Amino acid sequence: METKTLSVPNISCGHCVMSIKKELSEMEGVTRVEGDPASKSITLEWDAPATLERIKDTLKEINYPAAD
């Protein structure tokens, strides 16, 4: 299992976090999605077949790209 916290500058409220949680939770392999609007970050846990690259691609698709 991998765990990572990503900075997502487009997060401005709890609704943003809920949108991200909904999308990423549907991805096979993602086991946990936690978000914090105050720090503009999300913390994820995942196993294969999910990858960090696929997670970042999904965030970009829903207009919440992760900062590198």
Beta-ladder partners of 35? 42
Residue 7 lies in a domain: yes
CATH number for position 15: 3.30.70.100
Residue 51 lies in a domain: yes
Confidence grade of residue 33 (pLDDT, cut at 50, 70, 90)? very high
The total domain count for the chain is 1
Q: How far apart are CA 47 and CA 18, in angstroms?
A: 21
Range 10-35 average pLDDT: 97
Alpha helices (runs of H) in the chain, residue ranges in sequence order = 14-25, 52-61
Residue 68 lies in a domain: no
3-state secondary structure of 53: helix
Residue 31 lies in a domain: yes
Q: By residue range, what is the domain housing residue 51?
A: 2-61
3-state secondary structure of 22: helix
Range 19-26 average pLDDT: 97
Q: What is the pTM of this model?
A: 0.93
